[in-house]
Structure 1
Amino acid sequence: MNRVPRILWTVATARRRGPVAPGEVAVLPLRVLPNDIDFAWHMNNGVYFTMADLGRIDLAIRSGWGLAQVRRRVAPVVMQETMTFRSSLQPLQAYELHTVIAGWDRVSVFFEQRFVADGQVSAQTLVRMRFLQRGKGVDTDRLWPMLGMTPPPSHVPEWAKGWGDGTRLPSPREDAPAGPPPFWG
């Protein structure tokens, strides 16, 4: 996978795409590269999540709060993500990645991202992220002032409001031994 060159390209070209205000959609033009495809001859499902990372990096830089994250030493980490696929992206196909802050709750920020080819949504993801400072979570009531931004209105989908309840894992500070299946019980 060519993550590092793509990250560097995204960072180097972000300002050229123009500023994005909180609540606005950041559009990142991309193309399916040969090393993005799998044996079914379309973009691999894991690559979608990697490209989604690029979209959030692009949004952070273009909105200005990425620099504030670095200055305040606030690091975003993914808590949960889900992807729904509608149609495949083919080798060398151009597409756009649309990224927006969908909303937040007390501890996390939700990002909605869409992979758009020829004006049609190919896949969509919702990503729930927590921001950490010195290894500890920063609640959103402290996060927004730290990043120097007024948050956009929160439009977290109703189904995502209790998202973590059924899939929550123990805290990293707690024991979580691997046991026999079923794992979701």
Structure 2
Amino acid sequence: MVLGIASVPMTRMLQLAWTGVFPRKQVPDRSLLDPSVYPMRVLPQDLDLLMHVNNGSYLQLMDVARFRHVAEMGGTALGRQKQFGAVVAASTMKYRRSLKLFDRFELTTRVLGWDERCFYMEQVFTRREKLCARGVVATRFLHSRTNDRIMPATVVELLAEAHGLASPPESPALPDDVAAWARVVDVAPRGRVTV
């Protein structure tokens, strides 16, 4: 029984590792602000004792979808070249409807915007076009060797350059609920930013 409990999240962790080591190819014309939709299915290891997707499993599924999203916009290759990667600074979830064993669902990931400190992403779980859960994630980019923070504006400029754009896009205004959440969890800018 101990082995069974310990191995529950293993498949999603392997999926995440696979996604990181062998990322998807860049999707032509996929921009920073375009959403990506990942069709998935609930597996036995995603479930808890109530036989619906465990709250922790949602976060693992979101990790896998974010890696895929970044790869599809060309961010994985760019991160390897420039030696930086994304880490989660904060996340929040709202659960609406349960997902159960072998349910097919879609996980839509999109960048809502960015500021001087973080990128803000929304990840929405839907089944038959009905909302099941919504997550908001604040991510930071760090240099893989020095652990120095890479400013979001720098990442946006590098992505724009890689896509052949004359100028980088501007961040859309964050939705009010996301901006308020970022302030409450202390990931929003604190005033004057130093590089």
Tell whether the structures are fold-level matches, with TM greater than 0.5: yes
Partner residue, 2:150: 138
Q: CA deviation at 1:163?
A: 3.1
Aligned counterparts of 1:142 and 1:79: Cα–Cα separation in 2:
18
CA gap 1:164/1:18 in 2 versus in 1, 3 angstroms: closer
Q: Cα distance, 1:107 vs. partner?
A: 1.1
Q: Is 1:5 the equivalent of 2:14? A: yes
Counterpart among 56, 67, 74 of residue 57 in structure 1: 67
Does the 8 Å contact 1:22/1:152 carry over to 2?
A: no
Distance 1:115 1:4 in 2: 19
Map 1:34-183 → 2, pairs under 5 A:
34-133=44-143, 134-147=146-159, 148=161, 150-151=168-169, 153-168=171-186
Q: Does the residue aligned with 1:58 lie in a helix, a strand or coil? A: helix
Question: 5+ unaligned residues in a row in structure 1: which ranges?
Answer: 170-185
Structure 2 unaligned regions, length at least 5: 1-8, 188-195
Name the CA distance, whole Å, in 2 between partners of 1:106 and 1:165: 13
Q: How many residues align?
A: 168
Report the identity percentage.
27
Give the deviation of 1:44 after TM superposition. 0.3
TM-score relative to the length of structure 2: 0.77
Task: Give the Cα separation in 1 of the matches to 2:139 and 2:50.
Answer: 31
C-alpha distance in structure 2 between counterparts of 1:10 and 1:95, whole Å: 19
* Structure 2 CA distance for aligned equivalents of residues 42 and 71 of structure 1: 40
Using the TM superposition, name which of 59-68 and 156-165 deviates more.
156-165
For 1:82 and 1:35, how far apart are their aligned partners in 2?
22
**TM-score with structure 1 setting the length:** 0.81
Deviation per residue, 1:79-136 (Å, 9 max, x gap):
1100001000010101111001110111110011100111111100110011111211
The answer (yes or no) to whether the contact 1:72–1:146 under 8 Å persists in 2 is: no
Aligned-partner residue type, residue 128 of structure 2:
D
| Alpha-carbon distance change, 104 to 61 in structure 1, aligned in 2, over 3 angstroms | same
Report the secondary structure of 1:161's partner residue.
helix
- Counterparts of 1:120 and 1:110, CA distance in 2: 23
User: What secondary structure does 1:22 align onto?
Assistant: coil
Tell me how large the CA RMSD over aligned residues is: 2.2
| CA distance in 2 between partners of 1:9 and 1:116 (Å) | 24
Deviation (angstroms), 1:144: 1.5
Rounded Cα–Cα distance in structure 1 between residues aligned with 2:134 and 2:156: 26
Deviation at 1:156, TM superposition (A): 1.5
Q: What residue in structure 2 maps to residue 173 of structure 1?
A: none
Q: For 1:155 and 1:32, locate their aligned partners in 2 and report how far apart those are by CA, in whole Å.
A: 34
| Residues 46-87 of structure 1: per-residue CA shift (max 9 Å, x gap) | 000110111111111111122101111111111110000100
Deviation at 1:139, TM superposition (A): 1.4
Shift of 1:13: 7.8
Q: Distance in 2 between matches of 1:107 and 1:13?
A: 26
| Separation in 2, partners of 1:130, 1:8 | 20
